[in-house]
């Protein structure tokens, strides 16, 4: 099999942001403020609430100098199955939001009816290996729904809480709450563009930052943070436009090719299905198809 070699190319992309921290670290508010910085419109922000409707407390309040009005949300109740999360993502996509905040994803793992509880129930009748054989595909489908969504997605995750002793300004040892590993399946953080770790003092650092915007900083996530992030996300090559896609499909049909085969061709040429190629690549494909549509000239005489 011939391997495709292509130029690395940064495209306009959607954010996949993980926010971790102990209870009270400000994950929900941080996600809301950054989402507003990205959209400028609260109707374009949808929040999936698994935290006993706690996000309602932010509606009609002033936070960090920003008025937060009522905003679209979906309340998830137990059991916290991965299927419910997938349905919520699809519902918000159909509703037309630009940013989805999942608050929190930890319930899908360790909440009532989550994967760990399902595993414990299944282990009563089968071994652990067999149980995970059935449950891992469920986790993978949920992660796939997050990664393939047409919306920007923020995911909050509780972190396991631990206390450390530190000296205060008087030299006395006092306990301080810190967040450790997020409550979710190990390795999930590798899927995100950005992973922000918040402290009990609402200060964020990044443990992963593909953007380079926040690496090495100590900051409070804000509306401006969201604006910065959006600017970076949209600074890459523009994805193929609807007009360019329509032209490709029209010429593809004129050549008598099956519509289902166009993705195979763009993967061969550019390493991506049609919807994920750039507009520049789309126009290159149109030029190639135009050449194929030219009548073949035949010589005169013998």
**Per-residue pLDDT reduced to its tens digit, 33-83:** 999 999 999 999 999 999 999 999 999 999 999 999 999 999 999 999 999
- Give the mean pLDDT of 85-90: 98
- Give the chain's mean pLDDT: 90
How distant, in Å, are the alpha carbons of 211, 239, 268 from that of 249?
34, 16, 17
pLDDT at 27: 96
Q: Token digits for 16? A: 């996949």
Whether the per-residue pLDDT at 143 is higher than 90: the answer is: yes
pLDDT at 8: 81
How distant, in Å, are the alpha carbons of 92, 283, 286 from that of 26?
23, 45, 49
- Is the pTM higher than 0.85? The answer reads no
Q: How much of the chain exceeds pLDDT 90, in percent?
A: 69
Burial class (CB within 10 angstroms; exposed 0-12, middle 13-18, buried 19+) of 240: buried
Domains in the chain and their CATH numbers? 16-233 (3.40.50.300), 242-293 (no CATH)
pLDDT at 174: 73
Q: What is the CA radius of gyration of the chain?
A: 24
How many other β-carbons are positioned within 10 Å of the β-carbon of residue 238? Answer: 13
SS3 85: helix
* Closest-CA residue to 197 (of 178, 211, 169): 178
Q: Band of the pLDDT at 190, cuts 50, 70, 90?
A: confident
């Amino acid at each position: 099999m011939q391997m495709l070699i292509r130029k690395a190319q940064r495209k306009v992309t959607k954010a996949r942001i993980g926010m971790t921290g102990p209870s009270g670290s400000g994950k929900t508010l941080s996600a809301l403020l950054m989402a507003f910085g990205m959209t400028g419109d609260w109707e374009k922000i949808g929040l999936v609430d698994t935290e006993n409707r706690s996000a309602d407390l932010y509606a009609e309040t002033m936070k960090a100098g920003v008025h937060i009005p009522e905003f679209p949300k979906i309340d998830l109740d137990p059991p916290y199955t991965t299927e419910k999360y997938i349905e919520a993502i699809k519902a918000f996509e159909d509703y037309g939001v630009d940013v989805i905040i999942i608050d929190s994803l930890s319930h899908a793992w360790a909440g009532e009816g989550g994967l760990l509880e399902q595993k414990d129930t299944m282990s009563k009748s089968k071994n652990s290996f067999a149980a995970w054989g059935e449950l891992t595909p469920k986790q993978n489908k949920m992660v796939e729904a997050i990664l393939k969504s047409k919306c920007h997605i923020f995911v909050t995750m509780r972190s396991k809480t631990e206390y450390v002793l530190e000296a205060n300004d008087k030299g006395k040892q006092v306990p301080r709450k810190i967040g450790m590993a997020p409550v979710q399946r190990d390795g999930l953080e590798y899927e995100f563009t950005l992973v922000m770790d918040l402290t009990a003092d609402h200060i964020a650092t990044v443990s992963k930052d593909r953007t380079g915007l926040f690496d090495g900083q100590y900051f409070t996530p804000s509306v401006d943070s969201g604006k910065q992030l959006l600017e970076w996300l949209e600074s890459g090559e523009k994805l193929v436009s609807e007009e360019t896609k329509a032209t490709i499909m029209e010429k593809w049909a004129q050549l008598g090719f099956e519509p289902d085969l166009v993705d195979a061709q763009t993967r061969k040429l550019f390493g991506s299905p049609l919807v994920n190629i750039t507009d520049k690549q789309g126009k290159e494909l149109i030029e190639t198809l135009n050449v194929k549509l030219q009548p073949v000239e035949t010589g005169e005489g013998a």
